[in-house]
A and B are shown apart, each in its own frame.
Chain A
Amino acid sequence: DAGITQSPRHKVTETGTPVTLRCHQTENHRYMYWYRQDPGHGLRLIHYSYGVKDTDKGEVSDGYSVSRSKTEDFLLTLESATSSQTSVYFCAIRAGGNSYEQYFGPGTRLTVT
């Protein structure tokens, strides 16, 4: 257990509404990641963070923004949700030191109607 929680775990929202997903970790890891998972596409990186206020884009960042004001929290925001953003969203942390091992949270299932 890497001490990662995600909230909410499930959410249904309407097209055009803003949505924020939260990832919280308890072990002070520097690197945090947001992925989306869709059938046929595997895990695709949205954004990641390498420290407080330090973030970078992944391969599918359009329509998403992130913020990291504290080490333990990494927020993913959909400014104006679209049906194409219906997906399962996973947060992950990277283990410390020279390890590249990532550990995943339980996921948030988001449905945009």
Chain B
Amino acid sequence: GQQLNQSPQSMFIQEGEDVSMNCTSSSIFNTWLWYKQDPGEGPVLLIALYKAGELTSNGRLTAQFGITRKDSFLNISASIPSDVGIYFCAGQNSGNTPLVFGKGTRLSVIA
């Protein structure tokens, strides 16, 4: 089946630093979604992207829909301790097929 390659798998950063993570696929997607999961909870939708080249922000978070439609990027600026968690990308490519999820990037923030 389709796969999304999400990187890095984990990262440790200092509070205040900026963070970048990405998701790539060999297939084209029409929708990219980014989720965050806190320990013991379900994933929460952060940003949804619907057009190639689209750049969308949600507070300190900015995500981009890659121009090739095969990748997406999430940036977090000026990280804070509550940014800790697992970030997932997800893509959807046609009709009513289910989302394809990446395996997540685990973010740790050192105060």
Residues of A within 8 Å of B41, CB to CB, are 106-107
Q: Is the CB of B98 within 8 A of A33?
A: yes
Residues of B in contact with A, size category = 20 to 34
Number of A interface residues, CB 8 Å? 23
- A42-B104, A43-B43, A104-B42 in contact; A59/B92 too (CB < 8 A)? no
Are B104 and A102 touching (Cβ within 8 A)? Answer: no
Decide: A43 and B1 in contact? CB cutoff 8 A. no
Cβ-defined contact, A42 with B96, below 8 A: no
Interface hits, B74-96 → A, CB 8 Å: 88, 90, 92, 96
Measured between alpha carbons, how far is A101 from B33 in the docked complex, in Å?
A: 7
Q: Which of B18-34 contact A (CB under 8 A)?
A: 31, 33
Whether a CB of chain A sits under 8 angstroms from the CB of B45 is yes
**B31:A103 contact, CB within 8 angstroms:** no
B51 at the A interface (CB under 8 A): no
- Check if B102 is an interface residue, CB within 8 A of chain A: yes
A86 nearest CB across to chain B (Å):
16
Residues B42 and A102 in contact, CB atoms below 8 Å apart: no
Interface centre among A40, A43, A92 (most CB of B within 10 A): A43
Knowing that A101-B33, A102-B45, A105-B42 touch, tell me 7 more A-B residue pairs with CB under 8 angstroms: A42-B88, A42-B102, A43-B101, A100-B48, A104-B35, A104-B42, A107-B41
What are 21 A-to-B residue pairs whose CB atoms are below 8 Å?
A: A42-B88, A42-B101, A42-B102, A42-B104, A43-B43, A43-B88, A43-B101, A48-B98, A58-B98, A90-B42, A90-B43, A99-B48, A100-B33, A100-B48, A100-B92, A100-B99, A102-B33, A104-B43, A105-B42, A106-B41, A107-B40
The 3 closest A-B CB pairs, nearest first, are A104-B42, A42-B103, A100-B92
